[in-house]
Every structure is written in C-alpha cells, then in structure tokens.
Structure 1
Amino acid sequence: MNAFRTLATIVGGSLKNNATIECDDHGAEFFKVEINSSMDKAINHPDLTFLQGLSCRDSSSSTFGPLTLAQLSHFECGEVALSFCMLHKVGDACSAYYFLRDWARLTRDPKSTLSPPYFAMDSLMPSPFDGPMVSPVVEPKMEGCIHQRFIFSESKINALKVLVVAESCWLSGRIEKLPHLFPNSITMMVLSFSGLTEDPMPILEMLPNLRNLDLFRAYEGKEIISDNNFSQLEFLHLTELEKLKRWLLGTNVMPLIKGLGIHNCPNLKEIPQRMKDVELLKRNYNKW
C-alpha cells in the first residue's frame, strides 16, 4: 500500500469546493477480495471483478465519496485482476491506464522510477498562479437546465469522412497552437494569418504525403528549423513572415524540392545553401 499511496498522491486526495484537490491521501480506497471462481468465467462476467455497490460520488451530491477506488481480486486458480474506478473530475480513461501501468511497474520492482503525472490540459489552458480557482465553485442546480441532443444525418457523416481523407487543407485565421493530428492523406497545406508563435515545421514535416506547403503571414517567430523528413515536399512558399531571421535546414530534408518562393520576409537575409539552386516561384496574391 505504501507504493500505491506514493503513486496516488493526486488521485487519492479529497475534493474541495468542487474545484480543488487536497493531496491528503484521504480520497482513495483499496479493497482486496477473493473470488471463488476461475478467471475464464470473469471474462464473460466482468461484474465479478468490478467493485460491487461502490461508486465515486457525483458533484451533485452534498458529500463527496472517494475520488478513486481500486480492487485487487484473487481467483481460486491463482490469477489476479485489478479493477479501478476514478471520478472524472480527477482523470479519464487514459489517466486510469497510466495509473494501472505504473502500479504494475511498482509491483514488479518497488525501486522503479516513475515519471511525474503530466496533465496536457494545463499546457493548453494554464492555471492562474494563485490556483485553479480564485473562488469556490457554486454547486450546479439542475432545475431549469435545458438538455439537447444532436442527431447527424448519414449525409453529414459522409461529408465529414470526405474531409478526413482530403488531400488539401486550408486554414485561415489565428491559431493558438498547431494541432498534431493532421490526416496523412494531405498533399497540400496552406496556413494564412495564423499568428503562430511556435515553429510549425516540426509538425508539418512529419506529413508523409505533403507536396505543397504555403505559409502566408502564418508564423511570428524568428527562426524555422527543418531537420527531419519533408520527404515528398516539392513546392514551398514563405510569404510575409516579417520577424523571420533564420532558416536552418537539415542535410537530407526536402530531397524532392522543385520550387521555392520567399516573398516579403525582410529580416531573412540568408537561405540554406542547398536552396539557392532551387527554382524561384512567384506569388499570386489574387487568391487572397
């Protein structure tokens, strides 16, 4: 249990004001049970191993139950199973997976070094310095709430599928952070007026079929680094990247490049040596 408590510093805390977790090790409950059946029966009857009559209380309850529940089940055949329940305010299915993975790692080797928990959401929407909430959250009131259900027709779903396998992607307008999950089918990418502050190249260069890349007022940084891949890229436009000063290019990057257009990038005084022999492209402003 000591290893479990060390691992469960956060998920084993108490919920305060419906918004803040107190890391006091009071919120986790652990059960060890024996089941008089073999594990093969549990495959068809998972309720045999899951926590019976227990649940993490919903925030609508005046008294919060445990944030996490864990159960270790011993079968008569000698096998064991782990069951785990977590309040969604604390984590999701991915959090539960990493919890069980690290728990298993500690069981095999109590001296294992675990990585600290990583919360991706906080990197996207950072919490204020004085805490996640400046005042307690008011308890939700269900009276007067309106529930809506959205039903999408088959034609709308099919149209969405077409976008997923689209070969061209045009993104116009400010983007806080460039997503990583672009479909591999994209052959042409246009980013305009994005205002990105992080170099987009490390993400874009991983698109395996990208042949045409156009950055129009898309990046506000001073440096772009292309040190990997762009294996199919043939045409590259860099337009009105006014703060750009340096462009670093790896030796084997962009092996198929045929055309390069650099327009109104006043601070970019030098381009990679290998790009100096590439055909220069003109900018067609009519489409903007």
Structure 2
Amino acid sequence: MATKVKVVSTETIKPSSPTPPHLRNFNFCLLDQLAPPFYVPVVLFYSALDEKAAPDSASVSGNLKTSLAQVLSLYPLGGRVKGNAGIDCDDEGALYLEAKAHFELSKVLSYPDIDQLQQFLPFSPYRVSTNNEDQVIVGVQANFFDCGGIRIGICISHKIANGASVFAFLNAQSAIANNLKASELFQPKDINFQMPSRVISREKLSTKRFCFDGDG
C-alpha cells in the first residue's frame, strides 16, 4: 500500500548537560573504525486506544524532546562523528523531525513494507557522509497519524552502537519520559537487615572436563 509522510519541522536537540572539556575527543578503536558507517534503525509503533482521548501532538512532542535532551547527556551521543578517527563531543546534539501521516496506522501495520517503513525514519540508515561531512550520531523522527497513533523512528550510528546499546538508549529515554523512578515503584522501608559476614564459604570443589573424540 502506497503511503505518504510529510515532514513538517526539523530541529536540533542539544544535550541537557554539557560535556566536560577533558572528554571533548572520543577516539575510535580499531573495531570501531572497521564498523560500517551505517545506522542502526528502530521503528516503534504506538496505537491510540481511543482516538478522541489521544494526547495532542504538541504535548507528546514536547515530552519527546525533553527526554531526548536528557538522554543525550550519555557520553558521547551528543557529538558528531569526525571521519573515521572518532567523535567530537561538541554537544551539537541530535536531529529531530516531526512528520504528519494522513492515513490510518492500522493499514501500515496490516501491510508492512520495508521500503515504505524508511520514510518513518529521520534519514536513510545506509547514508554515507560525503566531502568529510560530520555525521550526526542520533536521529529521531516522530510521525503523527490522523487516528491518534504515533510512530517513532530512530537511527543511531553503528560506529558506537549495536542492538543492545540501542535498546539501552530506548529504555533510558522511556524511563525519563515517563518519570520512572525505582525508589517510587519500590519504596524504601526502614528495615533492620544485615548482610551475612561470610557471603562466600570456602569449600573443596572439584571440576571435571569431558573430551570426546570427533571421529567416534
């Protein structure tokens, strides 16, 4: 199914806390240099339970930008990739786009198409900088549907992130956006508890190794 998404605004979100001067330069290791200059893309879907009660796009966007600014303080997400040498942690921030999708989110979920999904991302995850252009590390695009649904597309540079670190980023931003605090979910109590004096006891242990003949 052909779909069309229209970007209505583009801006840069800077980290809420500045990077200390002594951490300005982040050098790549050899493995980072060998990593392809692509991005790890993630697309998240949020359906509105009730179209009439769906939150307005302005409040959702404000919450997204505020939480993004705070999570960009995680070193070195707020900088720029400088060629293949490393990252300049100049706090230039992340690319943030807002887009409107004038069709139903359910139609996209019913007939997913990889090529069509890329228009919900801030840019192509396979783009390569030219003319020594500095590469942004994080890009976010918030797509708002007429039905009240939201689709958030995120790209993070593969030079510093893999799948596990991308989901750590998402968990951190989600916790900030929802104001999740462990001390509120698991409220502390005045309890008299002492750790045992000996956590590990000394015992005689034995280990065994089994070797099998590959020709057997």
Q: TM-score range by the shorter chain?
A: 0.3 to 0.5
TM-score, normalised by the number of residues in structure 2: 0.46
The structure with the largest alpha-carbon Rg is: 1
Identify, as 1 or 2, the structure richer in helix. 2
Question: RCO greater where, 1 or 2, for CA within 8 Å and sep 6 or more?
Answer: 2
TM-score, normalised by the number of residues in structure 1: 0.36
